[in-house]
Amino acid sequence: MNYFPDEVIEHVFDYVVSHSDRNSLSLVCKSWYRIERFTRQRVFIGNCYSISPERLVERFPDLKSLTLKGKPHFADFSLVPHGWGGFVYPWIEALAKSKVGLEELRLKRMVVSDESLELLSRSFMNFKSLVLVSCEGFTTDGLAAVAANCRSLRELDLQENEVEDHKGQWLSCFPENCTSLVSLNFACLKGEINIGALERLVARSPNLKSLRLNRSVPVDALQRILMRAPQLMDLGIGSFFHDLNSDAYAKLRTTILKCTSITSLSGFLEVAPFSLAAMYPICQNLTSLNLSYAAGIQGSELIKLIRHCGKLQRLWIMDCIGDKGLGVVATACKDLQELRVFPSAPFGNQGAVTEKGLVAISMGCRKLHSLLYFCHQMTNAALITVAKNCPNFIRFRLCILDATKPDPDTMQPLDEGFGAIVQSCKQLRRLSLSGQLTDQVFLYIGMYAEQLEMLSIAFAGETDKGMLYVLNGCKKLRKLEIRDCPFGDTALLTDIGKYETMRSLWMSSCEVTVGACKTLAKKMPSLNVEIFGEGEQADCYVEDGQRVEKMYLYRTVAGKREDAPEYVWTL
């Protein structure tokens, strides 16, 4: 295999970038494994419990960038009790002890303590980028440590985290000689920040391209910041609340005219009615617009704004836009690739968004490949039309607010509709189902969804056959998450080898028993099979015949984890 010296092979490997490709390289032969591991700089670990931090550090001494994901996806919806796990500290500790020169850390759904952030900030001289998504466990004190100690910090990106705000001066902790910031996102912070410190920070950051503010930054400060940073490309506005007749607003309108580099706009956590007109001049440049947290914007204003956004590729909005509004999107945004429509109230606006909106979008936006759509109802006919119009879907997530609602026109389950989607969209990698569904939809998925990697199922199916169709058919399946479905032990145990080819399986409120989980765990030592209820002691599961409330299993080379709370029983 090795006709070339190592240096040449290393050089070739530099061009191989994707994680899966690099994984493949390492499997070719011992020599390539060795070369690959010493040159690998970016590692992605989709389940932090699949491998130990020590093993990671040992294998990849040249590591620069680490991405870690912790809790299972359904933790987002409060299905995983507090304290389950996903602690980042052991990772930072292991990395700090080693000679790894970490530069970038990206975490999702992990528990991050202030201690971890402090250790991180002190341990890596060249640390550049911290991205935290849906994490918890830290306060603004931890952020202060990062700001103060990371001399070459380029990126601090906090997305949708639960951060305890100590109302300290964390922003002021960026030293005066810190001029390297490229991206700063603190939109999820609830508390006040030092406005003066923010303005000075922006003033001394000539490379700042992305800035997302929280609601505590008033409009006059926003205006001054925009004056200082005309090079901004991504702007997140916190508060847009002001008197329309004021000088401040007039000044803002003028300043915005200068912001010709902005291609991504988000936020508007607080909005004054009828004030969005100030944004019209930059709408034509926008490729990304996220108004999914802008509760203060009425449907009609939203529609007016979007009419100006001809270049939009990504749009995240709330369902107050309505079916008619989606029709406007379909006319105005021909380049749209990703659409997310969120419910504006716990159960959405009654009748605001239905299958009609989605059909309109599919007719106008032929490049659409990613969809997350919360709606009140869906019909098979609509889904069949959408499948025909948009065969390029990679991600298709449909959430009908009434979880088991059938097609309202025919009172039939939505099997045929989703069947059409999987048959037409040959590149489909992610699918979330809802509405009334029988085993038939799973037969279709098993038959046609050849590229499917992640499937989310809720309140669907009739018998174990449903789950088996999926396990048998979807060869590329990596993550399967199921809640409230009548799948039981037979489905779980028929093809246990399958789970080693997947990252994880979640089953909650199904028909799986303790005994079956024990059997599975015994036969497959390479899996961790965890069962738990809601904060109960683990030993309440005494009898084998007892139904399991929640089960989460994942493949691992790290063995049983040491940090599981009492209510988690690893079999």
Partner 1 sequence: MEVVVGMKKEKMEFDETELRLGIGSTKASEEVVRKRGFSETENHDDDDDENTTMDLMLNLSSKEASGEVDPNDKIKNLQKEKTLLPDPAKPPTKTQVVGWPPVRSYRKNMLAMQKSSTNFGDESEKNNAISFVKVSLDGAPYLRKVDLQMYKSYSQLSDSLGKMFSSFTIGNCESQGMKDFMNESKLMDLLNNSDYVPTYEDKDGDWMLVGDVPWEMFVESCKRLRIMKGKEAIGIAPRAMEKCKNRR
Q: How far is the CB of 77 from partner 1 (least distance, A)?
A: 3
Closer to partner 1 by CB, 150 or 514: give it: 514
Closer to partner 1 by CB, 218 or 486: give it: 486
**Segment 355-384, which members bind partner 1 (CB under 8 A)?**
374
What are the angstrom distances between the C-alpha of 328 and each of 265, 340, 343, 408, 468? 19, 15, 19, 25, 42
Closer to partner 1 by CB, 229 or 398: give it: 398
Distance CA 419, CA 222 (A): 49
Q: Does 162 bind partner 1 (CB under 8 A)?
A: yes
> E strands of 196-263, at which residues?
210-212, 234-240
Closer to partner 1 by CB, 500 or 534: give it: 534
Q: Which part of the chain contacts partner 1 (CB under 8 A), choosing from 204-212, 278-286, 324-332, 395-403?
A: 395-403
410-434 residues labelled b (16+ CB within 10 A) or e (exposed): eeebbbbbbbbbbbbbeebbbbbbb
Q: How far is the CB of 197 from partner 1 (least distance, A)?
A: 25
Q: Which of 10, 199, 402, 462 binds partner 1 (CB under 8 A)?
A: 402
Closer to partner 1 by CB, 252 or 294: give it: 294
Q: Which residues contact 154 (CB under 8 A, 6 or more apart)?
A: 128, 129, 180, 181, 182, 183, 207
Structure tokens at 131: 């991205």
- Which is it for strands 550-555 and 527-532: parallel, antiparallel or unpaired? antiparallel
Asked if 526 and 550 count as a contact pair (C-beta separation under 8 A), the reply is no
Q: Which part of the chain contacts partner 1 (CB under 8 A), choosing from 18-26, 201-209, 464-472, 529-537?
A: 529-537
Q: Which residues pair with 86 in a beta bridge?
A: none
Q: Does 241 bind partner 1 (CB under 8 A)?
A: yes
Q: Which of 32, 91, 293, 442 binds partner 1 (CB under 8 A)?
A: 293
Closer to partner 1 by CB, 108 or 224: give it: 108
Structure tokens at 438: 């029988």
Q: Does 192 bind partner 1 (CB under 8 A)?
A: no
Q: How far is the CB of 274 from partner 1 (least distance, A)?
A: 12
Full 3-state SS string of 247-268: HHHHHHHHHHHCCCCCCEEEEE
Q: Which of 128, 405, 465, 555 binds partner 1 (CB under 8 A)?
A: 405
Distance CA 359, CA 168 (A): 49
Closer to partner 1 by CB, 78 or 245: give it: 78
**Segment 436-475, which members bind partner 1 (CB under 8 A)?**
456, 458-459
Q: Does 292 bind partner 1 (CB under 8 A)?
A: yes
Longest pairwise C-alpha distance within the chain: 75
Q: Does 569 bind partner 1 (CB under 8 A)?
A: no
Closer to partner 1 by CB, 239 or 313: give it: 239
What is the contact mask toward partner 1 in residues 298 to 327, using x (rule: CB under 8 A)? ------------------------------
Q: Which of 260, 307, 266 is nearest to 288 (CA)?
A: 266
Number of residues located near partner 1, criterion CB under 8 A: 49
Asked if 151 and 125 count as a contact pair (C-beta separation under 8 A), the reply is yes
Q: How far is the CB of 360 from partner 1 (least distance, A)?
A: 22
Q: Which of 350, 497, 539, 542 binds partner 1 (CB under 8 A)?
A: 350
Q: Does 404 bind partner 1 (CB under 8 A)?
A: yes
- Which is it for strands 370-375 and 338-342: parallel, antiparallel or unpaired? parallel
Q: How far is the CB of 567 from partner 1 (least distance, A)?
A: 11
What is the contact mask toward partner 1 in residues 58 to 97, using x (rule: CB under 8 A)? ----------------x-xxxx-xx---------------
Distance CA 179, CA 206 (A): 7
Q: Which of 404, 390, 400 is nearest to 339 (CA)?
A: 390
Q: Which part of the chain contacts partner 1 (CB under 8 A), choosing from 36-44, 62-70, 338-346, 378-386?
A: 338-346
Distance CA 103, CA 127 (A): 4
Distance CA 288, CA 313 (A): 6
Distance CA 309, CA 264 (A): 11
Asked if 49 and 72 count as a contact pair (C-beta separation under 8 A), the reply is no
Q: Which residues bind partner 1 (CB under 8 A)?
A: 74, 76-79, 81-82, 134, 160-162, 188, 241, 269-270, 292-293, 295-296, 342-348, 350, 374, 399, 401-405, 408, 411, 432, 456, 458-459, 483-484, 486, 509, 533-536, 549
